[in-house]
């Protein structure tokens, strides 16, 4: 399992300092010219998240090193602020454990 190290530019500074008094705020940096920025969230147990990241790597969809390290979700939750006109779709999928 490779883990990204260094600053996380898409998390606001309060999340980088691991303050849990407010939700994590996920920023959406500008995409490269001629490209559309998509945001992928994988939420589950640490084992389940890493298994999914590894599967996406095996499928040649995303390199493991492009994912940030695992971030604990604070009790206050996560706040995602979409750009005007953005939509989202949620896939729920169970995986075997053990």
pLDDT of residue 64: 92
Spatial contact of 7 and 20, defined as CB atoms under 8 Å apart? no
- What Rg do the C-alpha atoms of the chain give, in angstroms? 15
**Quick one: pLDDT band at residue 79, thresholds 50, 70, 90?**
confident
Distance of CA 67 to the CA centre of its chain: 7
31-51 mean pLDDT: 86
5-33 mean pLDDT: 56
Residue 6 has pLDDT above 60, yes or no: no
pLDDT of residue 98: 78
pTM exceeds 0.75? no
Residue 35 or residue 64, greater confidence: 64
């Amino acid at each position: 399992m490779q883990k990204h190290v260094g600053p996380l530019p898409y998390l606001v500074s309060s999340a980088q300092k691991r303050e849990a008094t407010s939700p994590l705020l996920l920023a959406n940096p500008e995409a490269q010219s001629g490209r559309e920025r998509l945001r992928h969230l994988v939420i589950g147990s640490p084992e389940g998240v890493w298994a999914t990241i590894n599967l996406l790597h095996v499928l040649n969809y995303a390199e493991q090193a492009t994912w940030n390290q695992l971030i604990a979700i604070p009790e206050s939750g996560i706040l995602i602020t979409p750009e005007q006109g953005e939509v989202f779709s949620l896939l729920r999928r169970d995986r075997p454990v053990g």
